[in-house]
Amino acid sequence: MCADTAIKQQPVPAGGDILLEARDLARHFDVSKPWLNRVLERREKLSLKAVDGVSFSIRRGETVALVGESGCGKSTVARLVVGLYGLTRGSLVFDGEDISDLANRTGRQAASLRKRFQMIFQDPYASLNPLWRVGTIIGEPLRFFRPELSSADRRRRVGELLEQVGMSPMDALRYPHEFSGGQRQRISIARALSNEPEFMICDEPTSALDVSVQAQILNLMRDLQDEYGLTYLFISHDMAVVKHMADRIAVMYLGRIAEIAPAEALFANPRHPYSKMLLAAVPSLEGAGKERTTIQGEVPNPVHPPSGCAFHPRCPHANERCQAEVPLLIARDDGSEVACHGVEEGRIE
C-alpha cells in the first residue's frame, strides 16, 4: 500500500478485558508417505509443525495483527481460532470460556458460540457460492442463526447490510461474478456481519485487491469496528497495511511468534532481528531511489526445522546458544515481548 493512501487511524484501547486468549497453540500435520511405502522404504513418520507454541491475547475492541512471510503459520492460527482445525496442543479461551474443543463441537452449543465470531477470507470470489444470488449468500447465516425471522425480515436485513457496506439493496438479486473484487469483499463482510458477531478473523482480506480498493475496504472495516465495537484478528504479510490497521502486531516465523509489540513501537524500534528485516523490506516514499533491503536466505523446511531458534540460520547475530536453545517470549518495559537470546543478553539493541 502507498504511504500516502488515506487510512483512518484508531487509538489503542486503554485497558479493557481479554476477549480471546491463546495459550501454547500447536497444530502438527502428518505429511508421511502411506504406511506400506514407509515400511518398504524404512522411513519414519513425518510431521509438519505449522504452528508450534503460539501464545497471545486480544482485548475487546482491539485489532491484533499476525504478520510474517508465507508459510509462517499465521493462517493456520486463524483456522485454529475459528475451529476449522483441531488443536494438537494448547488451549483457547474466548470470553472466559474454554473453546479448545471447538472443532469437535456440534449442535446448539457450537452454534451459539460460532455466532459470536466470523471469518473473512483472502479470496472473496472463492468464499462466495457462485450459484447463489447475493441475497441468499448474506441471508444464509440469518436463516441458520435466527430461524425466527420471516423471509421478508431476512430480505429487509440483507438490504440493510448491503447498504452498511456501501452497496445497494438491489445488488441482492445479482450473482458474485457480476461484481468487482472489492465489491465481492464487501459482500463477504456483509455476510460476516449478518449474525452480529463480536469477533472477526480477517485472513488477508485485501491482498487480492488493488491499492485504492484496499484503502476503501480497510476504512470500511474501521468504520464497522467503531459502530459495532468489533474485535479483529488481522492476518497479513503486508506490513504497510497492518501499520494502519493494528493496535498491536505479532510477528510470526516458522510456527512461532518472534515479537509482539504495539504497532507504533514496532515500527519505531523493532527488537527482533527478523522484525527488523521485515520492516527494512517495506517500500516507502522516503526511500525512493534507494536500494531496498531484502530478507536474506530462505525459510527452512518446516518438516525439518532448525534446532534452537528457527531464525538462527538467517540471523547475523546467532551464536551457539541460538543454535541449541529455543528462545521464549520475554516481556519488556516498553510493552513488547521478544523471543530472542540476543535481545535478552543485550547483544542486540
Write the pLDDT tens digit of every residue in 155-193: 999 999 999 999 999 999 999 999 998 899 999 999 999
Residue 195 · residue 227 · CB < 8 Å: no
- Cell numbers standing for residue 253: 516465523
- Cell numbers standing for residue 109: 452449543
> Between these two residues, 160 and 285, which has the higher pLDDT value?
160
Please determine, for residue 319, whether its predicted confidence score (pLDDT) is greater than 50.
yes
- Lowest-pLDDT range of 6-20, 167-181, 244-258, 324-338: 6-20
Please determine, for residue 4, whether its predicted confidence score (pLDDT) is greater than 50.
no
| Length, in residues, of the chain | 349
| Residues paired with residue 250 on neighbouring β-strands, in sequence order | 66, 260
Burial 286-305 (b: 16+ CB within 10 A, else e): eeeeeeeeeeeeebbebeeb
Domains and CATH numbers, the chain: 18-107+250-345 (3.40.50.300)
Please write the tens of the pLDDT for every residue from 322-333. Answer: 999 999 999 888
| Residues paired with residue 66 on neighbouring β-strands, in sequence order | 235, 250
Please report where in the chains the cell 473453546 appears, as a residue.
Answer: 99
Calculate the dihedral angle through the C-alpha atoms of 50, 277, 338, 91, rounding to the nearest 10 degrees.
-20
Other Cβ atoms within 10 Å of 149 Cβ, number: 15
The residue-averaged pLDDT of 227-256 equals 91
251: confidence class by pLDDT, cuts 50, 70, 90? very high
Other Cβ atoms within 10 Å of 95 Cβ, number: 16
Q: Is 47 exposed, middle or buried (0-12, 13-18, 19+ CB in 10 A)?
A: middle
DSSP secondary structure, 121-182, as one string: -S-TTTTS-TTS-HHHHHHHHHHHH-TTS-HHHHHHHHHHHHHHTT--GGGGGS-GGGS-HH
Question: Residue 292's pLDDT is what?
Answer: 53
Please write the tens of the pLDDT for every residue from 83-105. Answer: 999 999 999 999 999 999 998 88
Please write the tens of the pLDDT for every residue from 39-93. Answer: 888 888 889 999 999 999 999 999 999 998 888 899 999 999 999 999 999 999 9
Please determine, for residue 16, whether its predicted confidence score (pLDDT) is greater than 80.
no
The mean pLDDT value of the chain amounts to 87
| Axis-axis angle for helices 181-193, 211-228 (nearest 10) | 10
- Cell numbers standing for residue 337: 515481548
**CA separation, residue 26 to residues 55, 246, 273 (Å):** 10, 24, 24
